[in-house]
Amino acid sequence: GLETKTLWIVPGTFIKAADQATVDKLAQHRGIKTIEHLPEISLDPVLTQAVSETTAANEPNPQWGVQTVGAPEVWKTTNGSGVIIGSIDTGARHTHELIKDSWRADHGWYDPYDNSALPVDLNGHGTHTIGTMTGKNGFGVAPGAQWISCRGLSGKTGSSWALLECLQFMICPTLPDGTDPDCSKGAHVVNNSWGSKWYDPIYEDAVAALHKAGIIPVVSNGNNGPACATTGNPGGYPNVISVGAIGSASNERTKLAYFSSKE
């Protein structure tokens, strides 16, 4: 039979790998208003040149990026204590020394692909971004915050239904097996380092649901520069905090990076 999934965060039902005959049959059903094909969503590419330019940044403590955004000055007032940060990415290596103590294990992990009981990260990007947000020893901007994670990307790509399921998880986290949803344990802010190169309204309802739940959506605007009109989706939505990239330790730290996408 067909593999289907229905979510409450957006209207409609998802069908995985439906063939043309199935689509044609569904199109004749009076109760179905529209049928849309949902493309795969990509992880923001990591540029080798950009990484090599920041190699020297591994020496200072705090890291150059943490210093550049002024986090050490903010730590005099708050270090993120009491804040739950949600990560929708490639997953997380929860045993990593910089983030292992800040994982909120209770209703803190969901994997819509493999239903793994504990956090996994077969790519490393999710672990990296969580470290940038909550890492200890000068690596993270909010070392006092806790994190929860949902594996929205499997490798370098992800399905729209998995990403939407992860957005739903951030509002009402569940146990790893998908049971016991508890909206009192939702994230306060959600980081999304993924997107498409074109505009698509598919995530508009989900972003609106995050706002209604009091959750701040933060989205990468992409690494597809330097041309204008390269900001992806949902990073180009007007109601998200869209984040670009700045220079490296070896050049002007506050200058827009050449590869950062732009409106």
What's the pLDDT tens digit per position in 189-225? 999 999 887 777 889 999 999 999 999 999 998 777 7
Q: What is the mean pLDDT of residues 7-11?
A: 92
- The whole-angstrom separation of Cα 22 and Cα 2 is 9
- The whole-angstrom separation of Cα 57 and Cα 160 is 35
**Any idea where the domains of the chain sit in the sequence?**
1-37, 39-243
In the chain, the N- to C-terminal Cα span, in Å, equals: 43
Q: What is the mean pLDDT of residues 162-189?
A: 98
Structure tokens at 218: 């933060």
Q: Is pLDDT of 127 > 90?
A: yes
- The whole-angstrom separation of Cα 90 and Cα 130 is 11
- The whole-angstrom separation of Cα 104 and Cα 14 is 30
What's the pLDDT tens digit per position in 29-53? 999 999 988 878 877 666 555 455 5
CB 52 within 8 A of CB 155: no
Residues 216/210/162/190 CA torsion (nearest 10 deg)? 10
DSSP 8-state assignment for residue 242: E
Task: Report pLDDT for 110.
Answer: 99
Question: Which of 16-30, 187-201, 223-237 is least confident?
Answer: 223-237
Fold for the domain defined by 39-243: Rossmann fold (3.40.50)
H or E stretch covering 218 = strand 216-220
Residue 173's pLDDT band, with cuts at 50, 70 and 90, is: very high
Task: Report pLDDT for 38.
Answer: 82
DSSP of 141-201: S-TT-EEEEEE--BTTEE-HHHHHHHHHHHHS---TTS-S--GGG--SEEEE-EEBSS--G
Task: Report pLDDT for 67.
Answer: 93
What's the pLDDT tens digit per position in 48-96? 554 555 555 455 689 989 999 999 999 999 999 999 999 999 999 999 9
CA-to-CA dists, residue 24 to 20, 29, 34, 89, 211, angstroms: 6, 9, 12, 34, 36
In the chain, the percentage of residues whose pLDDT exceeds 70 is 92
Residues whose CB is less than 8 angstroms from the CB of residue 74 and which lie 6 or more positions away in sequence, other chains included = none
Average pLDDT, the chain: 89
